[in-house]
Amino acid sequence: MTLAARLRETLGPASVFEAAEDVIVYEYDYGLDRAMPDVVALPRSTADVQLIVREAQAAGVPIIARGAGTGISGGAVPAQGGIVVSLARMNRVLEIDADNRCAVVQPGVVNLDLSKLAEPYGLFFAPDPSSQKVSTIGGNIANNAGGPHCLSLGVTVNHILGVELVRHDGSVVRLGGKAPDGPGMDLTGVVVGSEGTLGVVTEATVRLLPLPEAVRTTLALFASVDAASAAVSDLIGRGVVPSALEMMDRLALSAIEAAFHAGYPPEAGAVLLVEVDGLLEQVENQAAIVDAVCRDAGAIEIRLAASDEERARLWAARKGAASAMGRIAPNYYLHDAVVPRTRLPTILAQVVEIGQRYDLPIANLFHAGDGNLHPMILFDVRQEGILERVMAAGREILTRCVEAGGTITGEHGVGLEKQDFMPLIFSADDLEVMARVRTAIDPSGNFNPAKVLPTPEHTRTQMRPKAAPSRIPEGMWV
């Protein structure tokens, strides 16, 4: 009896798929890499996940946990086949504990839905990736997701108090809990950001924060990216850490405003979207500093969001920016790297030069406050040889960021996309220690294999899509 047949007996025919027309939609995430799974299973409980893991281990096949498929680094792509465990049906909020300011959720809970459910209690979940309308808590945990409002509040790892983890033998272990600082090693912190290589998270205890008393959102217009970058460095240097500090360049602005009509000036060289929140007195003081710093840096104009509706429009347009890029090109490659804030002008100039040299338009919109760049390389996959140019430009951008003292990912993860770049920031000894930790927790090596740590080159080349349009999934078209 096949693995799929055995699982179907217990989970039911509506929870296990193996036909090519059913599993093909699980061969890719939001990135460029893809590979077909052999089986897809959709559990509804921890017990279901335990069963799937045990059966998969008995069959000796890879086990790939999957959230909403919004990852950009190929982390949920089944690089060596095997079984994809989609956690989409494990989508219940099990508890909102307002007294302890936390919630207990299954991994398939959508990020924004959690904040909406916590809002009546005066609470919210801080990590807010641009995909928060669809991305799930389990995927946020896997990649240690960030978002615009993580500048002052921290990324996902700072908001996960504990997890329930199904291990390689199907057993369950609970790490952490509602107590904020438990004794011993921070194993919860090891799991967050491990990209599904250590087990399957089936439950999470997450920190909830109080909604701020006051919020002020400012849009500052600049003639150039250099001037906007100077304002970023000066603002942080003044000791003000906004809740969000985003930058967009002219190419990004032109597409965003045409799509959303949210009030972004397409004629500006760059804009900063700056948000401060907290107690009313604190917000008023910080907002005055924001205005002064932006003016000193040469801001052409400073606009204040006059209402909650205007603020919501600005943020909806910023978070929907990726879809707006379809006005420029039918495809895009969204990169993710981090550089010191003081190096932003230099690196952004290099990004522009790289785009010109490879004849590729690159739109820049990113979390400027923490130097987390997201250059979007825009292209048409139907053009002969275009993917080779796109990947070459992406490699060069990433290398320049590392040379500037940065790193290869701020929030998207390593996955398949960036594992070849790991030796740029880690020594051979570092990588060996990581491999030993991984083996100690998952001695089978079957949880999401061929991810994060470098693998032989032939593994990567098999993953790369061909230039033919038929190889590009629907999700790649904007």
| pLDDT tens string 107-160 | 999 999 999 999 999 999 999 999 999 999 999 999 999 999 999 999 999 999
**Cα separation of 236 and 390, whole Å?**
34
Question: DSSP characters for 213-281?
Answer: SEEEEEEEEESSHHHHHHHHHHHHHTT---SEEEEEEHHHHHHHHHHH-SS--TTSSEEEEEEEEESHH
For residue 409, is pLDDT > 60?
A: yes
Question: What secondary structure letter does DSSP report for 198?
Answer: S
pLDDT band at 473 (very low <50, low <70, confident <90, very high): very low
Neighbouring residues of 396: CB distance < 8 A, sequence distance ≥ 6: 354
Decide if pLDDT at 231 tops 90.
yes
Neighbours of 388 (CB within 10 A): 12
Q: How confident is the model at residue 466 (pLDDT cuts 50, 70, 90)?
A: very low
**What mean pLDDT is predicted for residues 367-392?**
95
Q: Quick check: 375 pLDDT over 50? A: yes
Residue 271's DSSP bridge partners are 221, 248
Asked if 80 and 416 touch (Cβ cutoff 8 Å), the reply is no
**Residue 101 in 3-state DSSP?**
coil
The pLDDT tens digits for 276-323 are: 999 999 999 999 999 999 999 999 999 999 999 999 999 999 999 988
- Whether 87 shows a pLDDT value over 50: the answer reads yes
Which of 211, 287, 281 minimizes the C-alpha distance to 242?
287
Give pLDDT, residue 184.
Answer: 82
Q: What is the pLDDT of residues 187-228, one digit of tens each?
A: 999 999 999 999 999 999 999 999 999 999 999 999 999 999
C-beta separation of 368 from 318 below 8 A: no
pLDDT confidence bin for 458, thresholds 50/70/90: very low
User: Domains plus CATH for the chain?
Assistant: 214-323 (3.30.70.2190)
Round the average pLDDT of the chain to a whole number and report it: 93
211, 308 contact by CB (below 8 A): no
What pLDDT score was predicted for residue 463?
Answer: 38
What's the pLDDT score for residue 457? 55
- Choose among 88, 97, 138, 90: nearest CA to 117: 97
Distance of CA 214 to the CA centre of its chain: 27
State pLDDT tens for residues 327-354: 999 999 999 999 999 899 999 999 999 9
- pLDDT for 210: 97
Phi, then psi, of 367 in degrees rounded to 5 = -85, 85
CB 401 within 8 A of CB 60: no
Non-local (6+) Cβ contacts of 437 within 8 A are 190
Whose CA is closest to 314, among 286, 276, 277, 273? 273
